[in-house]
Structures are given as structure tokens and as C-alpha cells.
Amino acid sequence: MQIRMQLQARRIQLIFLIICLCSFFINARPFLIVISQDDLKDAASPDDSSDSANYDSAEWDEFGEPESQNAAQELDPGTWRPIFEPDSPASDPDAPEDLYYTALGKMMTAVSSGDLRLMEDAVGDIDQVAVESGDPHAQSVLGLLYGMGIMKETNKAKAFMYHYFAAEGNKQSKMALAYSYFRQEMYEKAVKLYAELAEVAINSLLVSKDSPVIEPVRIHNGAEENKQALRKSRGEEDEDFQILEYQAQKGNAGAMYRIGLFYYFGLRGLRRDHAKALIWFSKAVDKGEPKSMELLGEIYARGAGVERDYTKALQWLTRASKHPSFSAYNGIGYLYVKGYGVEKNFTKAKEYFEKAANNDESGGHYNLGVMYLKGIGVKRDVKKACTHFIVAANAGQPKAFYQLAKMFHTGVGLKRNIPMASALYKLVAERGPWSSLSRWALESYLKSDIGKAFFLYARMAELGYEVAQSNAAWILDKYGEQSMCLGESGFCTDAELHQRAHSLWWQASEQGNEHAALLIGDAYYYGRGTDVDYDRAAEAYMHAKSQLNAQAMFNLGYMHEHGLGLPFDLHLAKRYYDQALELDPAARLPVKLALASLWLRKNHADSFLVHVIDSLPEVYPKIDVWVEDVLLEEGNATILTLFACLLTVLYLRERQRRHAVVRAAAAAEAVPLHPNDHVAAQN
């Protein structure tokens, strides 16, 4: 994904940043923020506290308070977690919410098995719960069904209406509503919703004992399955993990630490398990592994799988800092600023934060930013706060994104910029508890439950997740009927499959997915699932070209060379061909052939070769049809295969016969003369 927003860059740039969301969007373009002098508020002096009234975020709540048992349900009402993690607390079976979960469970079973009757029953139950009790969670599902045209007629207006009414009680509908406004550039409405959702996401990082780390996976790499990424997401079944576990059991401290890390953060397809993480970190510490000491300090500070103990947390963090572990400095500073396990001391806190920040630790930069923004233990300086937040955001710190979003939203320190605030809030909101849908979708895909994986990715797609949009579209293109794609009255027709994939690819391309933009261009150029439209194909290729896609540049050169959807212009065609080669050296052969064609067209426009070249696009489809209808027809293919086998046998037998003749001749020449013949020859 690539989102580029340049903010009023009329003066010399003060700060610029490429925010790499590697942990959030795999194979995505960077998010470019350019902050110019104009973006800083001219009227605000460094120590001006007049903006404080507009800025009401908490000072620090990193470790928060002990989470409630139903934290996930409170932060994400109507969560689908009980379906995929059925150990959730039970409630009244007669409550509308439980009827909703029963219907949702039926729906998941139906999309897995392709049971249309069961799906009809599930949709009927959802209708009943939504209408009779006005349940917002059921209304939210109806929004998905109408938006995607699943067992309902595709009706975007009805989908919007259901999400609108469900948004007050269902955060996923609020995400869908915010994304709808965002796509239409209705930023004033989008920013309000995304701000609320981002706050919930931040609270999920503060309240939940689970780590905020998320590891979404793009299941495809271009047109092919992303086998390497999928292999690394198989959890305990992954061969590399089993080797690592074997090394840890043999006493390798580094392997112990890595396994503990995987369990603590829920990486590589593993479910988070703080108890196992604690065991492995403790074993690694016994072997003298320093990074495990820091994480033990965090575990005791958060109370993750153990009783909170700030004294033990300080002890482990102090031991880690002596090795040194720079992020441990940040943890110690936090304990001082909160007064947890030590006497509150802002001066010492600042010293530890600076030690961490001076060694490129993002948490240190974030906490220094908060100190300068609020004037806690230091003279208030919004410009310094902004600088620290940007560095922290550069390292993927979600709370730094949130702080920058609030600054753009409220006009604190930075000039009010609603589009930028909306984009930053969106990034944070997408880390909320509803992002668990991605993990369940991936688990389903790895179990070859393609129908359920597609349904879950489709749900995330309407919430605005670009990775989910491209994954869902790729599943439709790759698996077709196996995707269990459901239309208005049954399984999707070929036209519905193409149309749905086209819509998903288009949404992904809007968010910077260059492969998606390229596929959209191909669909319009070749008429795949839509009418041939060279103008719209050129528009899509232009979009992909803006993301530095070599294939798109080559296609634009070809369209200029032939005047398809773009003006006939050989100079522009050559420029695009050259740019394609500069971006991708592997394109040398097709580019050289295209340049040779261009030279012929320029210097010998009416020659026979040019006419042959121009006729190739018409010949290729005919050859393709002939191969498919004649050569690949079942009966003909069998006959041709047998004929090829016969020719092969005859050839091998003939070669064997010739070799036998040659060997016999060579043997005859090598037979020695009889002794008597030799004597006679001498006489």
C-alpha cells in the first residue's frame, strides 16, 4: 500500500518521514508524511499551554489496570471471537446476542461446506434477530450481506443503512461506515468515527494483557501464492519452528528466547500463550540470555500470566539494562514517571527515556514526546514533541500515530488537517481488537477451508483493510467455485465472480496496491468480467505507474505505440519502455523487442514487418482458441498423446538399432589377425 499526502509544502521542509508499516502491511508501499514549516502553528510558542484544553489524552497508561474478564467483548461488542475461540464466557442462551451467535455459527459452517440450505436458515435467523430485537450485531452482518450481495441482492444503500444504525453498538459497523466516508473523501465525518475507533484500539493496547503486535499475512505475492510467508505461519507444525524447539530443548539460550518471543507476541501462527512464554524466558535467563530479562520485566509489569509485581519488574529491567538493553531503559523510565515500584521522579524518568531514545528506541522517543507535549518535568515544547512522535511513528509505534493524528485533528502544535488526521486515525483503528479476523481467516486458509477464509477476508475488506481486500480478490481469482462465493440466490456465476473480484481489486488499488491496479487495467483491456474499455484500462495503468510498477509502464508504452486509450505518440511510448527497463532489469528482452518494433514503426511504417507485428494481437487469440478447442479437446488430446508416445518409441528403437550396428562394426575392426595370417603376410 502507498498513501502519499504532502501538506502545503510551500516553504522549506522542516521534517520528513517515511513511516514503514512493515509489521502491519506486508509488501506494502511506505506511508509518506511530509511536514513543512507551514504545518507548524505559527502562533504557538514552544511553552504555550493554551492548547492543553483541547488535548485530553492520558499522560501514561502503558500498563493500565488489570483487565476485566470480558475485555475483548467490551472493546469489540458482537466480536466473532466466540465462534473461533469457543472458550469465551457463556451467557443467557435466550438472549438476542446468543441467538445472533447461533446464526453466525451456522453461517460459518455453511460457507465452509457450501450448504446453501443451512446458509438460507442462518440468513433468516439473522433477519429475525435484526428485525425483532433491533440487535446491532445482526444488523452489522446484514450490512455485509447486502454490501457483498450474499444471499441478498447487492444493495449498497441498504448496506450503508444497516451499518449506520448498527454503528452505535457495533464497532465493526462503525469501521465500515468510517471507511465508506473515507473513500468518498467525506473527511469531516470519517475523522470523527476513526478518532473514536482509534481510541478503542489504543485502549485495547492499554487494557489487554496481550501484546499489541499484529502479524497480518498477504497470502499471495502478485499472482502466485505467498508460500514462504504461509510456511512461516503454520505455528507448531512449521518445520523451522520444530527445529528451533529442538535446539531450545538441547539448551540453546537464543532458541529459548525466540520461542518465548513467539508465544508472548503470538507470532509465526502461534496463539499467544503467556504461561509458555514465561517458562521459556525463565529458562533463557538461567542461561544468561539478556533480552529475556527485559521481557520478564514487562511480563511482571503487565501482569501477563502472572500477578503484577512492579518490584520484580524493576529488578528484571535493571538487570537487562546492564547488558545493555536500551528498551529496558524505557521501561525503567516509565516506572519512575508513574511511581510504580519506585518513588515518582520525572527527572530520572526523563534521563532513562533519553538513554533509550539516544539509542533509537521508539518507546523512549514516544514518552519524551508526551513529556514535551504536556510539559511534564520539562518546559513544554510542542515542536520537540512532534519531532519525537515522528521518530516513534517511523518505528511503527501505534500510539505515536495516534498522537500525531490528534495533533492534526485538534490543531495542537500542528495546523488542523482533517484528511491527514483521518488517514492516521485509520492506521491506528485497524490495529483494534476486530483485527483478529485476519488471524482467523489465515488459520482457515491454512486448513484449506477456503470458503471460510474468503468470508472472513470479505468482512475485513468492507472494514477497509487493504490486505484483506487483495486476499479476498486473489482467492476469487485463484479458486473460483472453491471459494464458496455466494450470490443472491446461490453460488456465484462466472460473471458475479469476476465482478466481485474486480470490485475488491479496485478498492485495494485505491489504497495503493500496485498489483491490484495492474489487474484492474488488464480486466478493462482484455474485457475480463467487464466490457473492453481502453480508456479505463489506461487510467488503471496510470495508477499502477504512479506506484512505480514496471509492467504498468510497459503497458502504457504499448498503448501509446498503438493509440489504444491513449494518444498515438511514439516518443511517449519509448519513454515508458525505457522507464520500465530502468525499474526492472529483468524486463530487458520484452523492452528490447518493443523498442525494435517502435523503430520499425517509426522508420518503416508501411513495411510488411509492421503489418505482421500489428496482426499478432489478432492471431494470438485464434491460436489460443485452436489449442483449447482442438489440441486440448479430450478425445483429440488422447490421440495426440498416444501418437507422440508412438513416435517416441519408434525413435528410441531406431536409435538403439543404429547404436547396435555401430558397436558391431567397431568390434569387427578390433578382432586381431590369426597368427598364421600374420606369418603369411610377412612372407
Write out pLDDT tens, residues 234-261.
877 788 888 888 898 988 989 999 999 8
Within 411-493, residue ranges assigned H as helices are 418-429, 436-446, 450-462, 466-479
Query: Cβ of 644: how many Cβ atoms within 10 Å?
Result: 10
- And the C-alpha cell for 263? 508465544
pLDDT for residue 476: 93
Determine which of 8-22, 264-278, 407-421 has the lowest per-residue pLDDT on average: 8-22
Answer yes or no: are the C-beta atoms of 615 and 609 closer than 8 Å: no
pLDDT mean across residues, the chain: 80
Residue 612 CB partners (closer than 8 Å, separation 6+): none
Backbone angles phi, psi at 62, to 5 degrees: -55, -50
In the chain, % of residues over pLDDT 70: 78
Q: How far is CA 285 from CA 144, 256, 632, in A?
A: 49, 9, 64
pLDDT per residue over 354-393, tens digit each?
999 998 888 899 999 999 998 988 999 988 999 999 998 8
Query: Cβ of 11: how many Cβ atoms within 10 Å?
Result: 10
pLDDT for residue 637: 62
Q: How far is CA 86 from CA 81, 89, 101, 171, 267, in A?
A: 7, 8, 11, 21, 21
Answer yes or no: are the C-beta atoms of 31 and 18 closer than 8 Å: yes
pLDDT for residue 182: 96
- And the C-alpha cell for 464? 477497509
Confidence of residue 668 (pLDDT cuts 50, 70, 90): low
Confidence of residue 611 (pLDDT cuts 50, 70, 90): low
Q: How far is CA 47 from CA 381, 411, 545, in A?
A: 5, 16, 45
pLDDT per residue over 324-333, tens digit each?
778 888 889 9
β pairing state of 31-36 and 4-6: parallel
- Quick one: CA dihedral 19, 20, 26, 27, positive or negative? positive
Provide mean pLDDT across the span 126-133: 88
Answer yes or no: are the C-beta atoms of 371 and 341 closer than 8 Å: no
Whether pLDDT at 23 is above 70? no
- And the C-alpha cell for 399? 500510539
Answer yes or no: are the C-beta atoms of 184 and 178 closer than 8 Å: no
pLDDT: which is higher, 5 or 93? 93
Q: Cell 519506585 identifies what position?
A: 342
Provide mean pLDDT across the span 134-142: 93
Confidence of residue 27 (pLDDT cuts 50, 70, 90): very low
Stretch (H or E) spanning 14: strand 13-19
Whether pLDDT at 520 is above 80? yes
Whether pLDDT at 524 is above 70? yes
- Looking at the DSSP bridge assignments, the partners of residue 36 are 13
Q: Cell 513467539 identifies what position?
A: 262
Determine which of 80-94, 136-150, 262-276 has the lowest per-residue pLDDT on average: 80-94
Provide mean pLDDT across the span 14-38: 41
Whether pLDDT at 274 is above 50? yes
pLDDT for residue 160: 95
CA 185 to chain centre: 23
Answer yes or no: are the C-beta atoms of 57 and 374 closer than 8 Å: no
pLDDT for residue 104: 93
pLDDT for residue 121: 93
pLDDT per residue over 621-640, tens digit each?
555 555 555 555 555 666 66
Whether pLDDT at 530 is above 90? no
At position 6, the amino acid (one-letter code) is: Q
At position 619, the amino acid (one-letter code) is: V
Instruction: Please name each of the domains of the chain with its CATH number.
Output: 75-204 (1.25.40.10), 220-433 (1.25.40.10), 546-631 (no CATH)
Confidence of residue 612 (pLDDT cuts 50, 70, 90): low
pLDDT: which is higher, 406 or 668? 406
Provide mean pLDDT across the span 590-619: 71
Q: Cell 516506572 identifies what position?
A: 335
Answer yes or no: are the C-beta atoms of 261 and 245 closer than 8 Å: no
Q: Cell 511530509 identifies what position?
A: 34
Query: Cβ of 162: how many Cβ atoms within 10 Å?
Result: 26
pLDDT for residue 240: 84
Helix (H, G, I), strand (E, B) or coil at 100: helix
pLDDT per residue over 391-402, tens digit each?
988 888 888 999
Q: Percent helix, strand and coil across the chain, each rounded to 5?
A: 65, 5, 30
DSSP 629: I
Distance (Å, whole) CA 592 – CA 577: 9
pTM of the model: 0.78
Whether pLDDT at 92 is above 90? no
Query: Cβ of 209: how many Cβ atoms within 10 Å?
Result: 17
Confidence of residue 206 (pLDDT cuts 50, 70, 90): low
